[in-house]
Structure 1
Amino acid sequence: MTESKTAGSMTRRELIEYCLTYPDAYEDYPFDERADVPGAWTVMRHGLNQKSFAFVYERDGLCVNLKCEPEQADFFRKVYAGVTPAYHMNKQHWNTVHLNSDVPWDELRDMIEHSYRLTMPKRGQ
């Protein structure tokens, strides 16, 4: 993906492929029997602890739920119209990012990395 590409022009598959660039990340479909089912939720997980760091789905456009520190989550909601309290998640610790919005690609990339790091296995796991 090039830096000039906006988050809004990403496809679902491109977003999943980007998440798969993180070490030991894999995609899972725990809520659907098949990945190609309309409305399927893709859950991006860590291989070592199976914790989720991103939930990719479509609801009025492509969305991704990402974990975030509570103060930072609130900050992003105030700065970007395309960031809201997470759909079907703990609203204090998770945000929904609407890709076809005002959230730039570099900010989305940082949010994904932050979520990935927050859910990484702790030392000794």
Structure 2
Amino acid sequence: MTMKTAVGANKMTFEILNNYCLSHIGAIKEYPFDNTTAVYKVGDKIFALIDEASNAPRINLKCDPYYARELREMYENVIAGYHMNKRHWNTVICEDDIDETLIFEWVDDSYDLVFSSLSKKMQSFIRDS
């Protein structure tokens, strides 16, 4: 099977990814593992991790297991989640072959999956903050 690439790709940077992750309601950033792995959480649950030390930004995102597998088959730079549950997480290597709008959609999907797993009380608290 040939790997597909997205057309019209833009140069993704850590700063762009960082700002986009933090733009989500209730999102916070921490460095619990080391000082180069940014961890993004909502309601104390992780929805993204970014490796700041790599040349091309790498972001781990939670994903529906079937969609995760489909994305890995479609895009060469989407691989099983590094140091994560490989069924539920993908690592996206943000090279020029993946358009930033796709990456933003995948960040949104990850955030939405995690947010929807929070208790209704926690969801209300985050929305009202």
Alignment TM-score, normalising by the size of structure 1 = 0.82
Match of 1:52 in 2: 46
Task: Report the Cα distance in structure 1 between the residues aligned to 2:55 and 2:19, rounded to whole angstroms.
Answer: 21
Task: Report the Cα distance in structure 2 between the residues aligned to 1:103 and 1:5, rounded to whole angstroms.
Answer: 6
Q: 1:124 is paired with a residue of what secondary structure?
A: helix
Match of 1:10 in 2: 12
1:72 and 2:74 correspond: no
Identity of aligned residues (%): 34
Listed as ranges, the gaps of 5+ residues in structure 1 are none
Aligned partner letter, 2:21: C
Match of 1:123 in 2: 120
Instruction: Return the index of the structure with the highest Cα Rg.
Output: 2
Match of 1:29 in 2: 31
- C-alpha offsets along residues 56-103 of structure 1, whole Å, 9 cap, x if unaligned? 004463100000000000110011111000110000000000001422
Listed as ranges, the gaps of 5+ residues in structure 2 are 1-7, 123-129
Task: Report the Cα distance in structure 1 between the residues aligned to 2:78 and 2:23, rounded to whole angstroms.
Answer: 23
Which structure is richer in relative contact order (CA contacts within 8 A, separation 6 or more)?
Answer: 2
How far off is 1:26 after superposition? 1.1
Match of 2:38 in 1: 42
Which aligned segments of 4 or more residues in structure 1 are displaced greater than 2 angstroms?
58-61
> 1:82 is matched with which residue: 63, 77, 81?
77
Question: As a proportion of its length, which structure holds more helix?
Answer: 2
Q: 1:73 is paired with a residue of what secondary structure?
A: helix
Aligned partner letter, 1:44: Y
CA contact (8 A) 1:82 1:98 kept: yes
Q: 2:121 is paired with a residue of what secondary structure?
A: coil
How far off is 1:110 after superposition? 0.8
Equivalenced residue count is: 112
1:27–1:64 CA distance, 2 compared to 1 (3 A): same
Task: Report the Cα distance in structure 2 between the residues aligned to 1:10 and 1:60, rounded to whole angstroms.
Answer: 11
Task: Report the Cα distance in structure 2 between the residues aligned to 1:111 and 1:15, rounded to whole angstroms.
Answer: 11
